[in-house]
Structure 1
Amino acid sequence: MSLPLSLIRSSLLVGLGSIASRILGFVRDLLFAQALGAGPVADAFLTAFRLPNLVRRIVGEGGLNPALVPHLSRMEPKDAAAAAGDAISVFALALLGLTALVEISAGLVALLLAPGLRDEGTLALAAFYTRLAFPIVVSVTLSSVAAAILNMRGRYGATALAPLVVNTGLILTVVVLEKAFVLPLEAKAAWLSAASSGAGFLQLLAVWAALRQGQDPLVRFRRPRWSPALKNLLLAGFPALVASGAVQLFVLAGTQVASFWPSGISWLYYAERVMQLPLGLMAALGTSVLLPALARHHHAGETAAIVSAQHRALEMALLLALPAGAALLILSVPVTTVLFERGAFLPADSAGTAQVLAALSLGLPFATAGKVLSQTLFARGALRQTIAGTGLGIVVTLASGVILAPLGGAAGIALGISLGCAAHAAAMVRLLARAGLWRPDRRFLGRVARIALSTGVMGLGLSAAQRIQAPTDSLSLAAFCLGGLALYAAAAWLTGAVTRDDVRAFR
């Protein structure tokens, strides 16, 4: 059984939106590196930016979908609209209270996020930037609730494009600050922190406009009723966020360890942003498109369809994740040098970031697999099990980071994050096997083997080309990437990792 054509087309739409958002986010981070470098101010800013950006990425990639979609999909449209309105109202009140608490205790929050920032000046900056940046959490979380409702009704366009607003706003802010003003690093970081909150509000307005389109209202507001349905929905919301943001939580745990190393926070942030380019695409595909399809199969009792859709989606994910991980490992030095080394970002920062990127690239296939496989458990409402798997990954990340950091510095911490991703993926496989939903067939195993073989061919070609002449500028790096992609595509076609049916599915 193959993925339905509608699911593939929806995946393509969400994927294109995610790619555009990731590209803009990557441009934003390149400008961050150029404007702030990787010193104490950058560490303070990125510490403050880490928590709201963590929430933005989790909810922006459909982190609340596991709680909202299965629950609302079981209700009649009128009742679902009322329940959605109640959920939005209660979430808004809770988020405003949380924001007020963070504003009051920003110093403690900064210390918890980066306990290694012992310098009082750096810690004070991190607290100040946290107060400016955290209000974005209100906007992006409410946007995610609205996006989940739109996705459930098959309206993917607005939810795929709305996240572009935040990154576009931040890019414009950096450009203006760099071109029109001469400001110290501390002031630049302050303006960027405040701009993130303003851009989040614009994203909320965009999603809200999409929600109000159409004749039948998708949300009906009233005075919230504390019904059993609302209670169950809210109780599932926090576990869904924790379970959906597994990889981001592993990185957050690694950041805590990295804060004890000079520039460790900055190096880890920039390297992780490169890794997020391919990972974000698979995350958006899984939570926005695959999860609703799995939920429908689960409610209909179609076990075979669940297993088939899950395995086919994992094939699609690994088709991208394996070559992406291999390419980032091989090209880690030229990628960081060409992309980041300018302005306040020094050669020593490029070398440190490259080592971290190489270590993180090893975990990319495991992070992708864990993200896809967890969607089946979400569709079944098995949030406790997925949280347990996330907890295991966090423990492995922290333990490995503490052990490996004295040996490899920030790169050792990044390797610990990769081990955490591997432990999480293994936990998802075990949970699915216990539920009778992990039955890899011959087609799946054969496809994965062919993808691995094609990745090996690409890796050999990139390694040989780099020994002859490593890329030194944007043009040569682009040529390497396109050449590696072409080699991988040819190998995938010749080995059967990609077939004519796959190509026809996207027409």
Structure 2
Amino acid sequence: MSLIRSSLLVGLSSIASRILGFVRDMLFAQALGAGPVADAFLTAFRLPGLVRRVVGEGGLNPALIPQLSRLEPKDAATMAGDVISIFALALMALTALVEIGAGLVALLLAPGLHDDEGTWALVTLYTRLSFPIVFSVTLSSIAAAILNMRGRYGATAFAPLVINAALIATLVVLEGGFAMPFATKAAWLAGASSVAGFIQLLIVLAALRHGEKLVRFRKPHWSPVLKSLLLAGFPALIASGAVQLFILAGTMVASFWPSGISWIYYAERVMQLPLGLIAALGSSVLLPELARHHHAGDAKAIVGAQHRALEVALLLALPACAALAILAFPITDVLFARGAFQQADTDGTALVLACLSLGLPFATIGKVLSQTLFANSALRKTLAAAMLGILVTLSSALLLALSWGPAGIALGISLGCVSHAAAMVWLLRRIGLWHPDRLFLGRLVRIAASTTLMSLGLWGMQIVLVPAGSLSLTAFCLGGLALYAAAAWLTGAVTRDDVIALR
């Protein structure tokens, strides 16, 4: 299966997952609003959600794929079984620790909520109910990495849809047939997420055992390869989840502002549609491609694949950044303004979304460039870049929040993305894998020009008609997409060869 066709399959499943995620979050906003219970639930949901996004978008792939790709198929299957067994034991121990120390976890996630004993107690309860999903999604990610390495993307692409579908079903039942307090609804949702995670794990394990035997289980043998793989796992997770960690750092600061946690959560979920798509493409499709080129010692092919991946990523990210900034208020109003979600929440979330969208292109660049370092097993370098981004996020969010509140925190997160992308470019230059060619620079200019034309069109459309409902917003989005597609074709940002490659 070609890189572009594999990317299309993974991309479609990622889009489907994000659409279900939008529906889920719309129902979250309707059922819980953006008050103290919503802050408590979304704080507890943040840690399992972070792990789910990082590992679900291939956060463990940088540690797994380069190591397993060097082994013969039989040895790789045995090693894969050892990895799954060791991780299962470690995750059971971690889950037990979190269940015991959930109060301390709640304090670390949202220090600003500690003075409100009722809200802090809810965070503790919801953390205990939702954290078991971490066990399931992490093991699912390991199984998915093994399947992706062998070019099998079907089950791994669509299994993650189960969690969002289960949460939507739970929300529909809770809203349709039962009258209960916000706190009770949130407790049911937290428990349902853990149950859905186990269903996803069963689906992926079934795919792993179908056909060619990709995993051989035995009593785990401690070998140098297994040791190096496990030691690489933690920095791989940190580096892969850099943007998620920036948002987590911003959420910790936002816990000192009323509804700040909820506003950042809802805004970030909108931004995750393009970002999650790009992350899934990078970890599931680009990383195995780069690992093969690195194993063959073909530096020219590595740089070429990196450039083409950046072109595809920015072809999506730049117009998404512009559209989210321009349409932040109508998007927030249409998606979330119903039920318990008040007008002040709509205004606050929209402003946060506009500020977060500024960091989207840089988050995209960091996601793609990190795959090259992962393929070269340069995990320490990517970890250092992620830590730099976290420090920049915390410091700038604290300073900007003093003047602009949650919107300033969102700007701090965007600055963290900028610093992370800059660090990635600097690191690649040092190892000789960053030298943009004319083809790449020319394509980047054409993408920027197409985005500018689309932005002008959207501004002009807003002057004539302000989108005030789902139908008008849909028309704006489709109109902007059509305008961007036409501009991309006319400027050469998308060529006939690109279209032919999809076949």
Per the TM superposition, whether the score is higher than 0.5 is yes
CA shift, 1:179, in A, is 0.4
Distance 1:227 1:437 in 2: 32
1:138-287 matches, within 5 Å, as 138-214=135-211, 216-287=212-283
Match of 1:355 among 351, 355, 368: 351
Question: Which residue is 2:428 aligned to?
Answer: 432
SS in structure 2 of the partner of residue 131 of structure 1: helix
Find the counterpart in structure 1 of residue 383 from structure 2: 387
- The one-character-per-residue Cα deviations of 1:110-138 (angstroms, maximum 9, x if unpaired) are 11000010200000000000000000000
Output the CA distance in 2 between the equivalents of 1:134 and 1:372. Answer: 29
Following superposition, the deviation at residue 444 of structure 1 comes to 0.5
Report the CA distance between 1:6 and its aligned residue.
0.5
Alignment gaps of 5+ in structure 1 = none
Secondary structure in 1 matching 2:338: coil
Q: What does residue 285 of structure 2 align with?
A: 289
In the TM superposition, what whole-angstrom CA distance separates every residue of 1:353-399 from its partner, at most 9, and x where no partner exists? 00000000000000011000000000000000000000000000000
Matched, 1:128 2:134: no
Distance 1:238 1:76 in 2: 25
Residue 398 (structure 1) aligns with:
394
Give the whole-Å Cα distance in 1 for the aligned partners of 2:417 and 2:39.
24
Deviation at 1:472, TM superposition (A): 0.5
- Counterpart in 1 of 2:488? 492
The runs of 4+ residues in structure 1 deviating greater than 3 Å are: none
1:486-507 per-position Cα deviation (integer Å, ceiling 9, x unaligned): 1111111111111101111112
Query: 2:62 is matched with which residue: 57, 62, 66?
Result: 66
Q: 1:406 Cα deviation (Å)?
A: 1.1
Q: Cα RMSD (Å) of the superposition? A: 0.6
Aligned residue pairs total 502
Does residue 443 in structure 1 map to residue 439 in structure 2? Answer: yes
List per-residue Cα deviations over 1:275-308 (Å, max 9, x = no partner).
0001010000000000000000001000000000
Letter in 1 for 2:48: P
Output the CA distance in 1 between the equivalents of 2:86 and 2:297.
32
Q: Which amino acid aligns with 2:356?
A: L
Residue 332 of structure 2 aligns to a residue whose secondary structure is: helix
Distance in 2, matches of 1:7 and 1:320, equals: 17
Deviation of residue 198 (structure 1)?
0.2
1:432 CA displacement: 0.5
Amino acid at match of 1:487: L
For 2:239 and 2:18, locate their aligned partners in 1 and report how far apart those are by CA, in whole Å. 22
Match for residue 51 of structure 2? 55
Secondary structure, in 3 states, of the residue corresponding to 1:438? coil
User: How far apart are the structure 2 equivalents of 1:189 and 1:29?
Assistant: 13
**CA drift at 1:468:** 1.7
Mapped partners of 1:228, 1:315: distance in 2: 38
**Quick one: distance in 1 between partners of 2:381 and 2:28?**
38
**Residues of 2 paired with 1:24 and 1:198: CA distance?**
17
Query: Given residue 308 of structure 2, which amino acid in structure 1 is its aligned partner?
Result: R
The CA distance in 2 between the partners of 1:480 and 1:50, in whole Å, is 31
Identify the match of residue 103 of structure 1 among 99, 104, 113: 99
C-alpha displacement of 1:467: 1.7
Corresponding residue for residue 334 of structure 1 = 330
Identity %: 77
- Report deviation, 1:180: 1.2
Give the 3-state SS of the residue equivalent to 2:2 in structure 1.
helix
Q: Distance in 1 between matches of 2:70 and 2:134?
A: 28
TM-score, normalisation: structure 1: 0.99
Ranges in structure 2 where 5+ consecutive residues have no aligned partner? none
Q: Paired residue for 1:33? A: 29
- TM-score of the superposed pair, with normalisation by structure 2: 0.99
**Per the alignment, in what secondary structure is the counterpart of residue 70 of structure 1?**
helix
Q: Of 300, 320, 325, which aligns to 2:296?
A: 300
What is the aligned partner in structure 2 of residue 411 from structure 1? 407
Cα deviation, residue 223, structure 1: 0.3
Question: How far apart in 1 are the matches of 2:144 and 2:100?
Answer: 30
Could you tell me which amino acid in structure 1 is paired with residue 39 of structure 2?
A: D
Q: Distance in 2 between matches of 1:321 and 1:7?
A: 19
Matches of 1:23 and 1:333 in 2, distance apart?
19
Q: Distance in 2 between matches of 1:468 and 1:410?
A: 31
Deviation of 1:237 after TM superposition, in Å, equals 0.7
CA–CA distance in structure 2, aligned partners of residues 267 and 463 of structure 1: 25
